[in-house]
Amino acid sequence: MALFRVILLYQVQRFNLNQYFEELYYSYLYIEPIWYIDLDDIFEPWSRPWDVG
């Protein structure tokens, strides 16, 4: 009975972890283009024509 409880707990924990990583992955896919543009703005100002009139 204890072994069954441990296996059940492991299954539930694994499911929660899978769900968590899945949500993390999809939110990363959703955020990634915006994040890329932000990195462009911060680290590559020379790629943007700031001084062009």
**pLDDT reported for residue 16:** 73
> What's the pLDDT tens digit per position in 1-21?
677 777 677 776 777 777 777
Alpha carbon distance 35, 37 (integer Å): 5
What is the pTM (predicted TM-score) of this model?
Answer: 0.30
Grouping H, G, I as helix, E, B as strand and the rest as coil, residue 48 is: coil
